[in-house]
A = this chain, B = another copy of it.
Amino acid sequence: MPDATFVPTHPPASDRVESDVVRDMKLRHVVESQQFTVPMLMDLFNRSRGMERVVARGGTLDYQNRIMATLFYQPSTRTRFSFEAAMHRLGGRVLSTEHARSFSSEIEAEQVEDSIRIIGSYSDVIVIRHHEEGGAWRAARVSPVPVINAGDGNGGQHPTQALLDMYTIYRERPLDGLSVAIIGELDKGRTARSLAYLLAKFERVKIFFVSPPELQMKPDILEYLDEHGVHYQLESEIERVIGEVDVVYQTRIRPERVTDARGLGRFAINSAVLRKMKSDAMILHPLPRTVELDKTVDDDPRALYFRQAVNGLYVRMALLTMLLDKD
């Protein structure tokens, strides 16, 4: 049985994990990005740098007897491959599900708790993407091995995406004093939500949430930012902020979710927008993209979204070692 004190409590999201007790604690599960303290992030980023070197010299590490299970109730080939490649680059082994919703031919609504207990007997770490918000938390609560949230629900979190986003920024410039525009369908944006929690850990950060009003960031995040004294602003015009931000974090907007889809062009990144950006800005996108990020942007040196994908490999390798290493 897992030790409940190591498990983040959810919902509601809370800061408990940032208390002194937790700060020095070994990382046990990765459920929400706000679990991470700045020292933990720095440890993770240092390890990630080391992983860049491991991959560059074509080696693997010493995890050949460790098994990672990926349990994807929603298919996501990119995220699954990123985790599986990370485990392979560590020398480890993988049990894989492409689409676990059809978990059993017999019982449709098998409880995730039973599945996790059993899969936890076969593996050393479980990566779960669940279609319901809180699914990863339910898994972590009963799992005998570490659980990593690879996305839960529509309005949940995707903490490892935010970790690799932060690492990508960190590789370019200091994280204190950043000015960031987070653009897109923010109310249901798992990656935008997880990123906002992480940005709030750093000093003098300013966040612009740019979105059609009906899809703006939800109050729980805004309250969290208020409590932590983080400066933020709600915007519905990319034009008004594009010239002053260090980071443009673009995410998709599904046309069917806005009241007037004709105005969606106002949120897209294209060569006209590029011209207004700071020369040393960074453009990030968690991908996949639709029309909100034009392919003409790909060759701009400020476009870092394919670099993000590579960094995802390093950060996930580093995270797996933090979870798998015996104290």
Contacts and interface: CB of A to CB of B under 8 A. Distances in A.
Nearest to A118: B309
A288 B104 contact: yes
A306 B118 contact: yes
A84 B77 contact: no
A311 to B, nearest CB: 9
Interface stretch (A7-15, A59-67, A207-215, A260-268): A59-67
A122 B69 contact: no
Contact of A104 (B76, B118, B119): B76
Interface residues of A, number: 52
Copies in the complex: 3
Interface of A: 58-60, 64-65, 67, 69, 71, 74-78, 81-82, 84-85, 88-89, 93, 95-100, 102-107, 110-111, 114-115, 117-119, 121-123, 131, 252, 287-290, 306, 309-310, 313
A119 B81 contact: yes
B252 A119 contact: no
| Main DSSP-derived SS at the A contact region | mixed
A60 B122 CA distance: 14
Given A78-B115, A105-B75, A67 B95 contact: no
Nearest to A326: B58
Given A95-B84, A306-B118, A309-B118, A77 B100 contact: yes
A107 B255 CA distance: 12
Nearest to A287: B114
A98 B95 contact: no
Given A107-B252, A289-B114, A313 B121 contact: yes
A32 B309 CA distance: 29
Contacts of A123: 81, 85
